[in-house]
């Protein structure tokens, strides 16, 4: 969207000047003409508007803002308020500057005669293709308020699923950082200081101590090489993941991982059933609903199954069959889909399956924390025990030698 300044005259000949964003000068001219204005001049702004720097939104539009917007707009539309008036009210209430600017653009677009869905397509940083298609279905069916409410619920559920996985991984990740921190502290501080002490004694050191000293010397002497290697691995991984084969392999490994893979699988199934049921209940065709659902899935293994199911359905086949053939979707999912297809209640059946897997994700995330916590604690204990043995075993040997010397001296005396 480009920024323009314009000068125009109304039907009374009064000159009006202002600023507006539009796709291009022609689009802005259409908007002004639709308002009954006679255009005098339109100029594109080439410089940065300092007054609008506060509208820069680095972190994106918060999910909470989107949900509140959907719910309140649904309430106003359901109460019979014109859509343009509802957008105007929301524009005045929204606190996020970037979101307020986008809603202002959407309102202007709707005022020019475009649909709400078409207007949001020009602001795809706010809502994805799934949300826009739902809004479009709501406008076509006359149930926009109901669709907006359902979309708000969908956004909340999607956010909750991601938050649960993040919350379950937070504590184990903290423990992992602590383990790495303790190891680095010992490698850079404790082991070098003990090495200086042991170097004064001309004695054979245990293999554990030698190993720790060699490792410490390497980290202290070549810390820059370690950083370069880590940076190279991170960059290499990023480049590899950005390739189609790399992305697919990564997703496959994640699904096969113990504990984490189970949670990811259940989250993907919950997302699939919930969103597909919502799209079908909104009046979208099953082909379009499967296409949009596949696009919303993060894991490529699950996405490929849904796209394969779409091809099967296009040929007149059953949705349950390709789901049943997949190793990633449990048989209970395909069985329930088959029941829904037979009864003509596929959207309701999918909603029930989604609720079931939502509860499964809750249980799985709680179990993950309880399982990973002792595992990381044991790993930290083993690491500390290994380093402690390497540091203190020579001290035990030296004390034994000193004791033998003292005993020998006593015998002589």
pLDDT, tens digit, for every residue of 95-128?
888 888 888 888 888 888 888 888 888 766 677 7
Which of 65, 68, 73 has the alpha carbon at shortest distance from 147?
73
Among 139, 124, 136, 84, CA closest to 107: 84
Task: State the CB neighbour count (10 A cutoff) for residue 272.
Answer: 27
Residue-level pLDDT at 202: 62
pLDDT value at residue 155:
81
- The pLDDT score that the predictor gives to residue 18 is 79
pLDDT digits (tens, 9 = 90+) for 313-365: 999 889 999 999 999 999 999 999 999 999 989 999 999 998 898 888 888 88
Comparing C-alpha atoms, which of 245, 246, 268 is closest to residue 255?
268
Residue 155's alpha-carbon distances to 161, 274, 355, 387, in angstroms, are: 10, 11, 15, 48
Mean pLDDT of 249-264: 88
Residue 181 has pLDDT above 90, yes or no: no
What are 19-77's pLDDT values in tens digits? 877 767 777 777 777 777 777 677 776 544 434 434 444 346 788 888 888 888 888 88
Q: What is the mean pLDDT of residues 274-296?
A: 88
The model's confidence at residue 308, banded by pLDDT at 50, 70 and 90, is very high
What residue segments make up the domains of the chain, in order of their start?
2-47
Q: Which residue has the higher pLDDT, 54 or 252?
A: 252
Rounded to an integer, the average pLDDT of 68-92 is 87
Of the ranges 10-14, 64-68, 252-256, the best mean pLDDT one: 252-256
Residue 383 or residue 312, greater confidence? 312
The confidence score (pLDDT) of residue 58 equals 38
- Token digits for 397? 């040997």
The answer to whether residues 293 and 279 touch, using CB atoms and an 8 Å cutoff, is yes
Query: Which of 274-288, 298-312, 386-400 shows the lowest mean pLDDT across its residues?
Result: 386-400
Q: How far apart are CA 384 and CA 378, in angstroms?
A: 10
Q: Kindly tell me if the per-residue pLDDT of 409 is higher than 80.
A: no
Q: What pLDDT is attached to residue 47?
A: 46
Q: Which of 194, 215, 299 is nearest to 254 (CA)?
A: 299
pLDDT of 174 reads: 81
**Which strand (E) or helix (H) includes residue 128?**
none
Greater confidence (242 vs 376) lies with: 242
**Residue 16, SS3 per DSSP:** strand
What phi, psi does 15 have (nearest 5°)? -80, 135
- Position 46 scores a pLDDT of 53
Q: What is the per-residue pLDDT for 52?
A: 41
Question: Minimal CA–CA distance to 191: which of 379, 376, 386?
Answer: 386
Quote the percentage of the chain above a pLDDT of 70: 88
State the virtual CA torsion across 134, 137, 143, 144 in degrees, nearest 10.
50
Q: Please name which of 320, 303, 170, 305 lies closest in space to residue 247, comparing C-alpha atoms.
A: 303
Tell me how far apart the alpha carbons of residues 188 and 193 are, in angstroms, rounded to a whole number: 9
User: How many C-beta atoms lie closer than 10 Å to residue 393's C-beta?
Assistant: 15
As a residue count, the chain comes to 413
What integer pLDDT is reported at residue 53 of this predicted model? Answer: 35
**Burial (CB count <10 Å: 0-12, 13-18, 19+), residue 327:** exposed
Q: How far apart are CA 300 and CA 256, in angstroms?
A: 13
List, in order, residues 6 or more apart from 65 with CB less than 8 Å away: 94, 95, 96, 99
* pLDDT-wise least confident of 63-67, 215-219, 326-330, 394-398: 394-398
Q: Is residue 413 pLDDT above 90, yes or no?
A: no
**Residue 123: helix, strand or coil by DSSP?**
coil
pLDDT at 133 exceeding the cut of 80: yes
3-state secondary structure of 344: coil
Measured CA to CA, the distance from residue 48 to residue 241 in angstroms comes to 36
411/24: higher pLDDT: 24
Q: Is the dihedral of CA 79, 85, 90, 93 positive or negative?
A: negative
pLDDT of residue 201: 63
Q: Can you tell me the mean pLDDT for 6-19? A: 76
**For position 60, what pLDDT does the model report?**
66
As a whole number, the mean pLDDT across the chain is 80
């Amino acid at each position: 969207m480009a920024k323009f300044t314009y000068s125009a005259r109304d039907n009374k000949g009064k000159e009006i000047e202002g600023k507006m964003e539009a796709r291009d000068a022609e689009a802005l001219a259409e908007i002004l003409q639709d308002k009954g204005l006679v255009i005098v001049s339109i100029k594109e702004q080439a410089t940065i508007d300092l007054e609008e720097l506060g509208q820069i939104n680095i972190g994106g539009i918060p999910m909470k803002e989107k949900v509140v917007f959907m719910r309140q707009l649904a309430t106003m539309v359901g109460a019979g308020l014109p859509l343009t008036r509802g957008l105007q009210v929301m524009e005045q209430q929204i606190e996020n500057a970037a979101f307020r600017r986008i809603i202002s653009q959407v309102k202007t677009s709707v005022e020019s005669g475009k649909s709400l869905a078409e207007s949001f397509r020009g602001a795809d940083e706010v809502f994805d293709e799934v949300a826009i298609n739902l809004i479009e279905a709501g406008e076509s069916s006359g149930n926009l308020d109901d669709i907006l409410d359902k979309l708000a619920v969908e956004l909340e559920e999607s956010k909750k699923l991601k938050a649960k996985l993040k919350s379950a991984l937070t504590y184990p990740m903290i423990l992992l950082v602590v383990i790495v921190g303790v190891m680095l502290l010992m490698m850079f501080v404790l082991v070098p200081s003990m090495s200086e002490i042991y170097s004064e004694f001309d004695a054979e050191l245990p293999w554990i101590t030698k190993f720790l000293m060699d490792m410490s010397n390497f980290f202290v002497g070549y810390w820059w090489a370690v950083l370069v290697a880590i940076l190279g691995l991170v960059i290499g991984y990023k480049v590899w993941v950005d390739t189609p084969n790399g992305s697919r392999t990564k997703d496959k490994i994640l699904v096969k991982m113990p504990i984490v893979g189970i949670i990811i699988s259940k989250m993907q199934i919950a997302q699939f059933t919930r969103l597909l049921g919502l799209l079908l209940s909104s009046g979208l065709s099953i082909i379009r609903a499967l296409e949009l659902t596949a696009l919303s899935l993060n894991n490529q293994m699950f996405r490929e199954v849904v796209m394969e199911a779409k091809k099967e359905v296009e040929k007149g086949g059953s949705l349950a069959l390709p789901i049943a053939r997949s190793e990633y979707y449990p048989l209970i999912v395909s069985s329930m889909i088959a029941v829904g297809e037979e009864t003509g209640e596929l959207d309701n059946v999918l909603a029930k399956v989604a609720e079931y897997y939502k509860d499964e994700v809750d249980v799985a995330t709680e179990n993950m924390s309880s399982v990973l916590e002792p595992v990381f604690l044991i790993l930290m204990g083993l690491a500390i025990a290994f380093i402690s043995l390497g540091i203190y075993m020579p001290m035990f040997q030296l004390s034994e030698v000193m004791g033998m010397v003292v005993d020998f001296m006593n015998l002589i005396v």
